[in-house]
């Protein structure tokens, strides 16, 4: 793990703490600067932002090694995220138990974007779903039909449209939106995608979607858990 933080002016524990708190809690960068100042650490808000952009992808990669498989019945929907004053589209899926399957930020909401999301989710899970539940948006339905025709999804896979069943994913969006809202929008698409990926990681941790029994971390505090996962 030490190679991750080689050459950094601040201790790795400080970096991990700032990135964790920024992605997990409803804190602005300036809130974190003040909180660190109370601990005697003088940080610029841009430093914390750089840390989040640098380390979130690495944290995700290391946590994913312990990810649990989700169910094969997916509830899929899109929500909106503002980037440079423009709305972009966050495709998301959960299984019927509410476990996060995958997500993808897109500048467009069309057939190609829906296909890209489904392909990413299938790669992430390592297997296609048995059932996909969508809202009434036609482009997503067309994407699934075309993927079945192309053999990317089984022809026996069940496709259904249900506003009631998709309440689950619509409610789950709140966990993401409640964190992005205090950020007051993103300056560019790339940083938005990385930050949202980090937020999604913490949603999965909150939902207990990682199998850590092999690390023997019972009754350990959060910093110890993070050190063990990153070092594994």
Q: Which CATH number covers residue 96?
A: 3.30.420.10
Q: Is residue 200 part of a domain?
A: no
Beta bridge partners of 103: 92
Q: Are residues 182 and 77 in the same domain?
A: yes
Q: Is residue 149 part of a domain?
A: yes
The pLDDT score that the predictor gives to residue 61 is 96
Q: Is residue 177 part of a domain?
A: yes
The pLDDT score that the predictor gives to residue 75 is 97
80-99 confidence digits (pLDDT tens): 999 998 999 999 999 999 99
Q: Are residues 62 and 77 in the same domain?
A: no
Q: Is residue 88 part of a domain?
A: yes
Last residue of a domain, one of 171, 186, 201: 186
Q: Are residues 160 and 92 in the same domain?
A: yes
Q: Are residues 159 and 94 in the same domain?
A: yes
Q: Are residues 48 and 89 in the same domain?
A: no
On whether the CB atoms of residues 131 and 162 are closer than 8 A, the answer is no
Residue range(s) defining the domain that contains residue 60 = 2-66+210-231
Question: Following DSSP, what letter does each residue of 112-178 receive, concatenated?
Answer: HHHHHHHHHHHHHHTS--SEEEE-S-HHHHHHHHHHHHTTSS-TT-EEEE-TTTTHHHHHHHHHHHH
Q: Is residue 158 part of a domain?
A: yes
155-213 confidence digits (pLDDT tens): 999 999 988 889 999 999 999 999 998 887 798 999 999 999 999 999 999 999 999 99
The pLDDT score that the predictor gives to residue 10 is 86
Q: Is residue 160 part of a domain?
A: yes
Q: Are residues 98 and 62 in the same domain?
A: no
Q: Are residues 180 and 78 in the same domain?
A: yes
The pLDDT score that the predictor gives to residue 164 is 83
Q: Is residue 202 part of a domain?
A: no
Give 201's contacts (C-beta < 8 A, 6+ positions apart). 23, 56, 59, 60, 63
Beta bridge partners of 73: 131
Q: Are residues 86 and 182 in the same domain?
A: yes
* pLDDT higher than threshold 70 for residue 7: no
Number of domains in the chain: 2
pTM for the full model?
0.94
Q: Is residue 131 part of a domain?
A: yes
Q: Are residues 22 and 125 in the same domain?
A: no
Q: Are residues 161 and 113 in the same domain?
A: yes
Q: Are residues 57 and 132 in the same domain?
A: no
Q: Are residues 182 and 158 in the same domain?
A: yes
Last residue of a domain, one of 186, 201, 222: 186
* pLDDT higher than threshold 70 for residue 140: yes
* pLDDT higher than threshold 80 for residue 1: no
């Amino acid at each position: 793990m030490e190679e991750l933080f080689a050459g950094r002016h601040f201790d790795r524990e400080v970096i991990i703490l700032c990135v964790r708190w920024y992605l997990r809690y409803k804190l602005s960068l300036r809130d974190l600067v003040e909180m660190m100042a109370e601990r005697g650490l003088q940080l610029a808000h841009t430093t914390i932002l750089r840390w989040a952009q640098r380390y979130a992808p690495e944290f995700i990669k290391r946590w994913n090694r312990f990810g649990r498989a989700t169910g094969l019945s997916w509830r899929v929907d899109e929500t909106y995220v503002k980037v440079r004053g423009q709305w972009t589209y966050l495709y998301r899926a959960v299984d019927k138990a509410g476990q996060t399957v995958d997500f993808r930020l897109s500048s467009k909401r069309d057939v190609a974007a829906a296909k890209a999301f489904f392909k990413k989710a299938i790669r992430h899970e390592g297997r296609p779903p048995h059932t996909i539940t969508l809202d009434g948006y036609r482009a997503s339905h067309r994407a699934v039909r075309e993927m079945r025709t192309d053999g990317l999804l089984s022809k026996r896979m069940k496709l259904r449209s249900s506003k009631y069943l998709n309440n689950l994913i619509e409610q789950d969006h709140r966990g993401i939106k409640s964190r992005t809202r205090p950020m007051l929008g993103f300056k560019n698409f790339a940083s938005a995608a990385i930050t949202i990926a980090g937020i999604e990681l913490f949603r999965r941790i909150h939902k207990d979607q990682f199998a850590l029994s092999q690390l023997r971390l019972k009754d350990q505090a959060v910093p110890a858990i993070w050190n063990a996962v990153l070092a594994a």
